[in-house]
Structures are given as structure tokens and as C-alpha cells.
A = this chain, B = another copy of it.
Amino acid sequence: MRKLDIKDVEDIALGAALLGAGGGGDPYIGKLVAMGAIKEKGPVTMLDPEEVADDAVIVAIAMMGAPTVLAEKAVGKSEYDTLNQTMTQYLGEKISAIIPIEAGGVNSMLPIAASAKLGIPLVDADGMGRAFPELQMVTFTIGGIDACPMALTDEKGNNVVFNAIDNKWTEELARAVTMSCGGAVSVALYPMTGAQLKKYGVKNIITRSQMLGKAIRTVKECGEDKTPEEHFLEFTQGYKLFKGKIKDVLRETRGAFNFGKVMLEGIGEYKGQEAFVEFQNENLLANVNGEILATVPDLICLVDAETFSPVTTDALKYGKRVYVVGLQCFEMWRTEKGIELTGPRYFGCDTDYIPVEERCKGGAANV
């Protein structure tokens, strides 16, 4: 158990935005919400997963919708109270602790805010170890845990409870309501026991985010024996896939998702070469010189070529210089069921899943 204070939030937001793999929203907005809540209510208690009782009632808290819409909507004061009340009423039990559903600029931060506001501890675990665009894409689905009952509320006060037949249907129905509510809502879902969380959750992901964030923030304090680039690839255990300048971004908002493709022209040692990255909220596939170097569920991260700060898909701009880096996903995503849920074919990419470290053999650098 430890306390998360305002100073912790900064690094968690930065590291989680990297794990967001292009999605998960703007870390700046998430950060403000979490910091505001801690300022008002005091530091948040974060439990290590091993400290959670087997019969504790755990619920994931998140925002659902296109992150670009969230930026235009305030996160309401009473939304977490409503979600907590609805869930408690439905489950007939008090909620013992909250978890984030994914790592990302916004959805790593909002559970901290909810924890502060509700006075309910946070657990250092989530259901993705990265960000994904659809709610059934969690390790909990692999473990057969039901997303329902799921509570949804918007800033106007609309409140909906779902009991769908499976997690894909929960996604379908909740997405429809999310769109009707203007494209971004707050949700509580995946009620589960402490035992289930310990078995299927991605453990210590908030601590990992914080360490990554700190390392990014201090990336240039790496001594003289290595370059910041080497340092970054070392602490992220990342594969350098490309370095380039954004020459075009194609975007489309469809069904409350941000779809698109970013085109890059090589700089530095990649001069004269070309790459593109496809995304649906998160980056799905990186293609360099006609060769696929990484796909979901592995993480494809764009980071600023100077500061190594993560660049989310909504912040992609012409002329920006970025690294494209591949990170290995959580091991459960590499199982048959994991690939079925989040592999490239699910997203309409015509390729099998091949782990990033195999795709990069003899090609991209992992210093």
C-alpha cells in the first residue's frame, strides 16, 4: 500500500500515455482531473494487488468514447457518486476498491480522481496493460469475467445499466448509448472479486506507468555513456521501428472511434525511407518500407524525437518529428483467446499476429 499524491500523478500520466499506444486520450486533461480531485480530497490509497482480499468487490472505472470528444466535455462532479450508487445498489454489496480498465492518458487518471472523490482505494492493476478501443478487450474477458452489470452516466445526469449476454454485446450497446450522449461518458464495469483480479489483472501497471513517466521526464539525464535514444529504448525495452517526420494524417470519426493513418518520411538514418501507422483510437499496425514491423496487441508508440514524450493519435500534426517504437504486450494477449480479441485480424488488418521481437529480427534495433 502506498499513497498517491499530486507529484505522483504527473509521472503516472506521462508513462500511461506511452502505454496508451497512441490512444487513451490527452494526458494533460486526465492529469488535471486527477490532480484537482487529490487537491480537494487528499492523497489516494493505492493497494498492491496482493493486499486485496479474495472476496473484495472490485470495479473498473473509465470514460468511454472518443478521447477527442472528452476534451470538449467537463467531467461532472457527481458522476462517480452516481456510478458508485448504481453499482452498489445492483450488486447489493459495497465496492471495496477501484481499478483502471486500461493504461492511457485519461483512463489511468480518472480512476485516481474517482478514488479520491469516493474515498475508495485504488488497486495497482488494470485489464489491458495498454489501451484498446473496445471494452471487451480486457484480460478479464479472457478469464470469463462479465463486464456487466455495467453502469453508464453522462454529465447531464442520464444513467443506464447494462446486463448484456456477453462482453462484445456490452460494448455494442454501451457504444450506442455513448454516441447518443454526445460521444463521451463515464462508466463502471467488470465487477469482480479480489481473487479474479489477482488471477487475470495486469499487475502493478500504475507503478510501471510511474517509472516509465519518470524515466521519460529525465531521459536526458542518462550520463555520457549512452544517448537519450539508447536510454529510452533500454528502459522501455522498446524496439525502434522508425524515425521520421509526419507528412500526412488521415482521420475519420466513425461510430465514436477515431480512425486514421499517419504517413511518415524518414529522418536521420531513415532518410529516404517511408512508413505509416494505422490507428483506431490506438495504433494498430506499423509498416516501414512496405514491411509490417509491429501489430496489435503489441504496443506501437509514437514519441517526440526530442523529448521522447508520447504523441497520442489525436495530437498527430504535420511536420512533427517522432520515433515509432514497438513494445511487447502483456503475455495473456499472446494466447489464442488474446489474439482473437485484439489481434490484427479483429481490426481488419490482413496479417497474422507475429510478436514484435520476431518481426524485428535482423531489422529494427533494440538497444
Q: Which A residues lie at the B interface, using CB under 8 A?
A: 156-165, 169, 172-173, 175-177, 179-181
Contacts and interface: CB of A to CB of B under 8 A. Distances in A.
Given A161-B163, A176-B176, 5 more contacts: A158-B162, A159-B164, A160-B173, A161-B161, A175-B180
A161 B160 contact: yes
Given A176-B179, A176-B180, A181-B173, A157 B165 contact: yes
A164 B185 CA distance: 13
Contacts of A165: 156-158
A159 B169 CA distance: 10
A175 B162 CA distance: 15
A158 B156 CA distance: 25
Which residue of A156, A160, A172 has the most chain B CB atoms within 10 A of its CB atom?
A: A160
Contacts of A156: 165, 169
Nearest to A169: B158
A163 B163 contact: no
A106 to B, nearest CB: 23
A179 B176 CA distance: 8
Contacts of A177: 173, 176-177
A177 B164 CA distance: 11
A158 B176 CA distance: 14
Contacts of A160: 160-164, 173
A163 B173 CA distance: 15
Contacts of A164: 158-160
